[in-house]
Amino acid sequence: MWWPISISNTFVSVFGYPLSYIELAGTLTGLISVWFAAKAKIWTWPTGLINVTCFFLIFFEIHLYADMFLQVYFFITSIYGWLVWNSRRDHHTIEVLPTAKRTWLLIAVIASTIVFGLLVKNIHLLLPTIFNKPASYPFPDTFVAVISIIATVLLAQKKLENWILWITADVISVVMYAKKGVLFISIEYAVFLCLASWGLVTWRKLFLNENRAGIR
């Protein structure tokens, strides 16, 4: 029976690229969700839930298991964000991490990437009935997952460094998804890269202005 929840079911061919229903849905809802977030609209969360659900299914199909598990985390945090934004809105000034915390954060990223990367690399051996093929790019994929999780927390806390992590994750994602053949998702992450770069510049200006105002 025909079913649209697969990258093998093409919606339209764009310059020879077979764009599937699920990739189109995931890409559009991802961009819409980021646009709503930039506008501080609560609709960023329900559209984000659709986005991560689509991406979960896509990443399972193309064997990017770390990214697949990352969507579960994003799904949970999207529900949390939706509830928080629906009840109240907190306002905090932009901050930067102390040097010591940056160092510990770097150590945590490296250690987590090694540990979970090994797990993802061997997950087809541990759970062969679920994952019948080896993971693609297990360590780059895991690295992106780790820094994305940390970036989400730093974003919620309004730490300037969150944008540096997002930029790093987006650069790797653009290349990785292009190599796996999901070109529209790769293009989407190129757009995210531009937005993250703009976010870093904007937040840095706000941080400097807030500090100047504090000095006065």
Kindly write down the DSSP assignment for every residue of 145-162, as one continuous string: HHHHHHHHHHHHTTBTTH
pLDDT per position as a tens digit, 45-100: 899 899 999 989 888 888 877 678 879 988 988 887 788 767 755 445 678 999 99
Mean pLDDT for all residues in the chain:
80
Task: Give CA angle at 123 (121, 129), nearest 5°.
Answer: 145
pLDDT confidence of residue 77: 83
Structure-model confidence comparison of residues 44 and 9, the more confident one? 44
What is the three-class DSSP state of 41?
coil
pLDDT confidence of residue 173: 92
pLDDT confidence of residue 2: 44
135 Cβ neighbours under 8 A, 6+ residues apart: 63, 64, 65, 66, 120, 121, 123, 124, 141
Structure-model confidence comparison of residues 10 and 77, the more confident one? 77
pLDDT per position as a tens digit, 177-194: 898 887 877 887 898 899
In the block, tokens 């949390």 appear at 80
Q: Quick one: angle between helices 162-179 and 138-156, nearest 10?
A: 150
b/e burial code for range 87-115 (CB count within 10 A of at least 16 → b)? eeeeeeebeebeeeeeeebeeebeebbee
